[in-house]
Chain A
Amino acid sequence: MTAALRFDPIRLPSECEQLRKEVRAFLAEEIAAGTFDPHKPNREDTDVPEFSRKVGARGWLGMTWPKKYGGHERSFLERYVVTEEMRVANAPTRRFFVADRQSGPVLLKYAPENIKMDILPRICRGEVCFAIGMSEPNSGSDLFAAKTRATKTDGGYLINGTKIWTSSAHIADYMIAIFRTSPPTKENRRHGLTQFLVKMKQPGIQVNPIGQITGQYEFNEVVFTDFFVPDDHVLGEIDGAWKQATSELAYERSGPERFLETYYVLTELVRAVGTNPDTRSAEGIGRLVAQVHTMRRMSVSVAGMLQAGKEPVVEASIVKDIGTVWEQQLPHRVRDLAAFVEETATNRETLEKQLDFAIKTAPKLTIQGGTTEVLRGIIARGLGLR
């Protein structure tokens, strides 16, 4: 078959269930202590450093990494459980999530030993925040159009140019970024980009906030002016970052965060509808639950493939494509059904506030981490169409 897709029905092993209980108990404690409000995804203060350190202390960061770097040598499936419980609870994961999901694995693979020993244990303790410097003005999804230059100088490189849409750059301690070390070649327009570890909060970097239509402040423009990066901060192959960057993107494609970002509106809808739904509400809720269940089964299946050491590029792209389209539509479908909710429903106000926020959030979901169009291009390649 041209396009044999596999989604084996992976079940989470029993150790995951024990872990899930621990995570739920921890989150319940934090909610009770007022660390965060699970009913308010639109928090003003999404950066909660002490929460990160507590999560690190529990051993829930760097879960799959080697112990010598502070990791816990646990499975991808265990990490999956922690991620989904945090996401569903609307926990403030901003400070550690990117480092745990994406930057840490890149460092593990490409950083020199001294850097690994320095930074990875701190990520595991929840002490450091990472940003990802890929997009630039007029590049975005077209990664290979990046122009920000890294020019060789004594003992390192001088960086000049601008990154944009950089989430968390304003709180980040480090950024893993791609910069242009050579022009693209005629044969390979992907050639000439190199991945660097950038220490933030240094002279030569200016971080300018960009407000979002949700009212949140999350991403930034980052301007580099003769910013110095030492030689040992080069990650991997000079001019060969495109291979590394695309495999890095695979980490952010199929996880629970790719279909659960607006999930809270479904929970609040069920609460507002109450225990005796009319037929229309029951049907609408039933369909949405069937859909989220299916998404999750697909996502768990891909986590199982990652655990087995496979590279499910097409499957992961499919999960992200239909997952993000689903989480984008979800608030609108919940809004359809919310029209029939009783005026007296106890959580009506919460539901309405959540819907406003989720509907404002929705447009970005199919853009971040690879647009729908880019993903469908990857899937088409996997089908043998290009």
Chain B
Amino acid sequence: MAESENIVAETAEKIFADLADAQTINRDNKGEWKAPLWQALTDAGLPLSWVDEDCGGSGASLAEGFSVLSAAGRFAIAVPLAETMLAGWLLAQAKITSPDGEMTVVPASPKDRMTVNADGSLSGKARSVPFAKAAKHFAVLASDAKGGVSIALVDATKGRIETGLNLGGDNSDTVTLDKVQPVTIKPAPKGFDQTRLMLMGGVARSLQIAGALESMLEISVRYSNERIAFEKKISKFQAVQHNLARLAGESAAALAAATSAADAIANATSFNDEVFLEAVAAKIRCAEAAEKGGAIAHQVHGAIGFTNEHILHRYSLRALAWRDDFGSESYWAVELGKLVCNRGADELWPLVASR
């Protein structure tokens, strides 16, 4: 996962630095930065990182793709890069070729279900689907009456979309499919289910949150070294130093949890309890870090960080918003707690110490 060893992540990082500077984006009310950024990402093959070359993608490894997401988090990217990567990955599970353009995955919450009807059409409602409005296609996971799981490519214009916005101001829409015939539908591989998709999405969000926290730490440290109050830099006040040390701790915890989970998934030979623990623990701990760390970053910035014109909200609000996608930390904590209790007290430590 080290960036220096990863040319794909380096490419992403360079594009973000050139075309997704937070200050520039923050001043651009019309969203004119989006098209050139998406074009550059597409030219570099990044949205289809996880799709094999023979299916139209760039065939990067899972690990390489995950480090693209870390970088995307550090820039709090507000285009559907993670979503298109996830959609391409989902389609690739069923060997469905990815089309060009923006995509997203449906459903995006573990509580929503999409159904395959007897005639092969799809029905169902999915809430809080990130960037549904911007997507040209949906990658849909659906189940039929017999419990069979299918993966489908759906033309986005065939669905009904009710626009919504998340805390960060990005699209988070309700998608309704009413007997929509997919472009392609194929059975999911054996053992693949919605939990698997949610955990992959959750790890993507964990990496993004961890990246956003890294940036919040960086800009908070920088600001504390610039801002003078009571005749000295606020970085010289012990109370401020201790707050920043705590922010570093939250950032570090998020980074450790997210990269560990990404590594676990990238190297998993089966989707067992240990991989489940890694993935849900990352989502839970990163969400907690987003709350605690974001609060400190705002505290250090004082009133200026609370304004629209400052870039802090680009990171803090997105980190908070990402907590809700693919299952909130509360949802996964319940699932993890059930798993732990079900295995029994004496199996808890062996689970924690398994890796």
Contacts and interface: CB of A to CB of B under 8 A. Distances in A.
B270 interface: no
Interface string A262-282: 010011101101111101011
B241 A267 contact: no
Given A267-B349, A385-B235, A386-B236, A7 B337 contact: no
Contact of B333 (A274, A283, A315, A379): A283
A284 interface: yes
Nearest to A2: B221
A270 B339 CA distance: 11
Nearest to B254: A294
B244 interface: yes
B345 interface: yes
Contacts of A314: 248
Interface in B156-197: none
Nearest to A325: B249
Interface stretch (B52-60, B90-98, B137-145, B278-286): B278-286
Interface of B: 1-2, 214, 217-218, 221-222, 224-225, 235-236, 238, 240-242, 244-246, 248-253, 255-257, 259-260, 262-264, 277-278, 280-282, 284-285, 288, 329-330, 332-338, 340-342, 344-346, 348-349, 352-353, 355
A88 interface: yes
B285 A291 contact: yes
A31 interface: no
A275 B344 contact: yes
A385 B249 CA distance: 15
23 contacts: A5-B248, A7-B255, A7-B256, A8-B1, A8-B2, A267-B345, A270-B345, A283-B334, A284-B333, A289-B281, A291-B285, A293-B278, A293-B352, A298-B253, A318-B252, A322-B250, A376-B246, A379-B249, A380-B241, A383-B244, A383-B245, A384-B221, A385-B224
B341 A274 contact: yes
Interface in A1-31: 1-3, 5, 7-9, 11-12, 20
Contact of A384 (B225, B251, B346, B355): B225
A376 B337 contact: no
B125 to A, nearest CB: 24
Contacts of B240: 385
A2 to B, nearest CB: 5
A175 interface: no
Contacts of B252: 5, 7, 298, 315, 318, 322
B338 A293 contact: no
Contacts of A298: 252-253, 256
A286 B256 contact: no
Contacts of A385: 221, 224-225, 235-236, 240-241, 244
B353 to A, nearest CB: 6
A287 B338 CA distance: 11
Nearest to B352: A293
A32 interface: no
Given A289-B277, A321-B249, A384-B225, A9 B353 contact: no
Given A282-B337, A385-B235, 15 more contacts: A1-B218, A2-B221, A5-B252, A9-B262, A88-B353, A275-B344, A283-B330, A284-B333, A286-B335, A287-B288, A289-B336, A290-B332, A294-B257, A294-B260, A314-B248
Interface string A299-329: 0010000000000001100100110000000
Contacts of A297: 256-257, 260
B334 A282 contact: yes
A3 B218 contact: yes
A373 interface: yes
A292 B344 contact: no
Contacts of A266: 348
B71 to A, nearest CB: 12
Nearest to A315: B252
Interface in A333-386: 373, 375-377, 379-380, 382-386
A84 interface: yes
A276 B338 CA distance: 7
B244 A286 contact: no
Interface centre among B218, B245, B262 (most CB of A within 10 A): B245
A113 B249 CA distance: 41
Given A9-B260, A297-B260, A386-B241, A286 B355 contact: no
A335 B285 CA distance: 21
A294 B280 contact: no
A376 B245 contact: yes
B64 to A, nearest CB: 15
B329 A287 contact: yes
Contacts of B257: 290, 293-294, 297
Contacts of B337: 277, 281-287, 289
B341 A12 contact: no
A296 interface: yes
A289 B352 contact: yes
A322 B167 CA distance: 28
A115 B250 CA distance: 43
Contacts of B238: 377
Interface centre among B235, B277, B337 (most CB of A within 10 A): B337
